[in-house]
Amino acid sequence: MALQAGIVGLPNVGKSTLFNAVSNSAKAQASNYRFCTIEPNVGLVDVPDERLAKLAELVQPNRVVPTQIEIVDIAGLVRGASKGEGLGNKFLGNIREVDAIIHVIRCFEDENILREEGAINPVSDKEIIDTELQLKDLDSVEKKMQKTEKNAKFDVKAKAELEVLQRCKAHLEQGKSIRSLGLAPEERTAIADLFLLTEKPVLYVANVDEPSMHTGNKYSETLKAAVAEEGAEVIIMNNSIEAQISEMEEPEDKALFMDEYGMKEPALNRLIRSAYHLLNLQTYFTAGVQEVRAWTIGQGWKAPQAASVIHTDFEKGFIKAEVIGYDDYVQYGSESACRDAGRLRIEGKEYIVKDGDVMHFRFNV
Ligand SMILES: Nc1ncnc2c1ncn2[C@@H]1O[C@H](COP(=O)(O)OP(=O)(O)OP(=O)(O)O)[C@@H](O)[C@H]1O
Ligand SMILES: [Mg+2]
């Protein structure tokens, strides 16, 4: 499944630095020049979850396996990207493939780090990117309108689609993103095939200087005010510090370093958790002596579908699921104690799995 969040922003704002901090696999080149990144780098990222650690502490398994999401480091976009500036079309295509967007915005001053857009200005930086994405979407919407218009004369379905497309067009022309249009699920099917860039959920990273990493600064404040209306989240962090933390191999070194900066955990953990929620994902656990493991599913998934992420046979041969709520598991301390206390439920095919459920599937093949 591995849903993807793509890191987007102007050139040289700290995207690759962030990617290197989150990604435990491939390292992207991060340097002080524009278009340092051309091909997107993809990395698998463990989703930090305190509940997994807690379950592991109770069960003492041989292995602990977190769940993962994919993060993609995309090349910097520039003004005019929707018209092909700076290899714009190619980079925009990379964004089309992701499920959610992490928009990195420069909120630090540093004369040595090149910048083409004049004085630091997070709000106008955000607008430059938004505008390019909106223009690209407008292009897609208009193209589909042309095709739909003919059929709309005699086909009711095409007529309804055309109405949705017209609303999208008007919205984009006002400089707004599709995600704020509030389309009903059945209306969204009219544009589903377009994979519109501004329909994807977004969160912002305010990449601040070191002294502001806990509190934010005037730049991150203006950014927060500007996105408040969208209801989007702004995560304040210093991408360079995060990258330095993740480069350290020894846990003791990490702890010392974070202590020095007054950090309880890397700010990245917050970012990854937020991205995970933005992707509408949730977690259930399996807990046995061999392995305590977190599994990713979508919200609203039923038990057999949830079982399928372990193995497709689990879904095909699904009989029932034994379920213990996370809080119960922690309160009673073990599966058998939960069973004795009557806190282990037997659920069938229609059960909708809840975030944090500890599951055991019974199946036959
Ligand atoms: N918070 C920060 N404070 C100071 N310098 C930073 C900060 N974050 C990143 N940098 C520096 O900014 C420069 C650009 O970073 P990076 O290569 O990550 O940018 P990018 O957005 O990936 O650029 P491109 O679009 O060219 O790929 C690097 O030299 C990096 O060390
Ligand atoms: Mg880069």
Does any ligand 1 atom lie closer than 6 A to the CB of residue 108? Answer: yes
Provide mean pLDDT across the span 332-358.
97
Tell me: pLDDT of 260 over 80.
yes
Does any ligand 1 atom lie closer than 6 A to the CB of residue 239? Answer: yes
pLDDT (tens digit per residue) in 157-212: 999 999 999 999 999 999 999 999 999 999 999 999 999 999 999 999 999 999 99
Four-way CATH pick for 300-363: 3.10.20.30, 3.30.950.10, 3.40.50.620, 3.40.50.300: 3.10.20.30
Question: Which pLDDT belongs to residue 31?
Answer: 61
d(CA 243, CA 20) in angstroms, rounded, equals: 6
Question: Which pLDDT belongs to residue 319?
Answer: 96
Q: How far apart are the CA of 286 and the centre of ligand 2, in A?
A: 37
d(CA 114, CA 128) in angstroms, rounded, equals: 17
Provide mean pLDDT across the span 127-137.
95
- CATH 1.10.150.300 range(s) for the chain read 130-198
Q: Among residues of the chain, what percentage have pLDDT more than 70?
A: 94
Question: Which pLDDT belongs to residue 37?
Answer: 61
d(CA 235, CA 29) in angstroms, rounded, equals: 23
Q: Which atom of ligand 1 is nearest to the CA of 241?
A: 1
The yes/no answer to whether this complex scores an ipTM above 0.90 is: yes
d(CA 80, CA 64) in angstroms, rounded, equals: 47
In one letter, which amino acid is 85?
A: E
pLDDT (tens digit per residue) in 15-59: 999 998 987 655 556 665 665 666 678 888 889 999 999 999 999
Best of 29, 106, 113, 236 to mutate for ligand 1, by most ligand atoms within 8 A of CB? 113
pLDDT (tens digit per residue) in 287-306: 999 999 999 999 999 999 99
Does any ligand 1 atom lie closer than 6 A to the CB of residue 39? Answer: no
pTM beyond cutoff 0.95:
no
Question: Which pLDDT belongs to residue 89?
Answer: 72
Question: Which pLDDT belongs to residue 190?
Answer: 92
Q: How far apart are the CA of 32 and the centre of ligand 2, in A?
A: 9
Q: Which fold has domain 4-49+66-129+200-277?
A: Rossmann fold (3.40.50)
Question: Which pLDDT belongs to residue 24?
Answer: 60
Does any ligand 1 atom lie closer than 6 A to the CB of residue 21? Answer: no
Tell me: pLDDT of 233 over 70.
yes
Q: 265: number of CA atoms within 13 Å, CB side?
A: 9
Cα separation values, 339 from 56, 95, 212, 328, 333, Å = 19, 47, 49, 10, 11
d(CA 350, CA 306) in angstroms, rounded, equals: 11
Does any ligand 1 atom lie closer than 6 A to the CB of residue 27? Answer: no
d(CA 87, CA 93) in angstroms, rounded, equals: 10
Question: Which pLDDT belongs to residue 350?
Answer: 97
Q: Which CATH superfamily is domain 130-198 in?
A: Obg-related GTPase Ych/YyaF, coiled-coil domain (1.10.150.300)
- CATH 3.40.50.300 range(s) for the chain read 4-49+66-129+200-277
Question: Which pLDDT belongs to residue 195?
Answer: 94
3-state per-residue secondary structure call for the chain: CCCEEEEECCCCCCHHHHHHHHCCCCCCCCCCCCCCCCCCEEEEEECCCHHHHHHHHHHCCCEEECCEEEEEECCCCCCCHHHCHHHHHHHHHHHHCCCEEEEEEEECCCCCCCCCCCCCCHHHHHHHHHHHHHHHHHHHHHHHHHHHHHHHCCCHHHHHHHHHHHHHHHHHHCCCCHHHCCCCHHHHCCCHHHCCHHHCCEEEEEEECHHHCCCCCHHHHHHHHHHHHHCCCEEEECHHHHHHHHHCCCHHHHHHHHHHCCCCCCHHHHHHHHHHHHCCEEEEEEECCCEEEEEEEECCCEHHHHHHCCCHHHHHCEEEEEEECHHHHHHHCCHHHHHHCCCCEEECCCCECCCCCEEEEEECC
Is 17 annotated as ligand-binding?
yes
pLDDT (tens digit per residue) in 48-69: 999 999 999 999 999 999 998 8
Q: Which residue has the higher pLDDT, 76 or 6?
A: 6
For the record, the structure tokens of 245 come out as 């933390």
Does any ligand 1 atom lie closer than 6 A to the CB of residue 76? Answer: yes
Look over the chain and give the mean of its residue pLDDT values, rounded to a whole number: 91
Question: Which pLDDT belongs to residue 36?
Answer: 60
Nearest to 104 by CA among 78, 85, 129: 129
Burial of residue 55 (number of CB atoms within 10 Å: 0-12, 13-18, 19+) = buried
Q: How far apart are the CA of 293 and the centre of ligand 1, in A?
A: 35
Provide mean pLDDT across the span 136-162.
93
Q: How far apart are the CA of 12 and the centre of ligand 1, in A?
A: 5
- CATH 3.10.20.30 range(s) for the chain read 300-363
